[in-house]
Amino acid sequence: MVEPGRLQPESLRRILRRRAEQAGIQGTRLEPVSPYGLRAGFITEAYRQGLGDEEIMAHSRHRHLGSMRRYVRRAKLVTGSPAGKIGL
């Protein structure tokens, strides 16, 4: 049953895609414009900026660490090779 006044998940996807299109943002097959992508992008960037799990979970409203960490895009966290970081 649809509750009056509540935004439905498919409505959110349509709004997001329309606004992204208006802004000239195009997703890819691997990274489509989606509510999941926004959440994953936020969580990944929060990790890059050094925020702790508890801070991120408080904002994203995750109750379980494992659930929240599934949103982290590990490849986006790598900014250089470990060897380069230690001067090799």
pLDDT of residue 15: 93
1 falls within a domain? no
65 falls within a domain? yes
Model confidence at 5, pLDDT cuts 50, 70, 90, reads: confident
50 falls within a domain? yes
71 falls within a domain? yes
23 token code pair: 């802004």
Q: Among 77, 57, 76, which residue's Cα sits nearest to residue 68? A: 57
82 falls within a domain? no
pLDDT of residue 51: 93
Contacts of 12 (CB under 8 A, 6+ apart): 35
Is the pLDDT at 16 greater than 80? The verdict is yes
Return d(Cα 39, Cα 70) in angstroms, integer: 11
Total structural domains within the chain: 1
Task: Note if the pTM is more than 0.75.
Answer: no
Domain that includes residue 54, residue range: 9-24+31-75
If phi > 0 it is left, if psi is from -120 to 50 it is alpha, else beta; for residue 52 that is beta
Is the pLDDT at 77 greater than 80? The verdict is no
87 falls within a domain? no
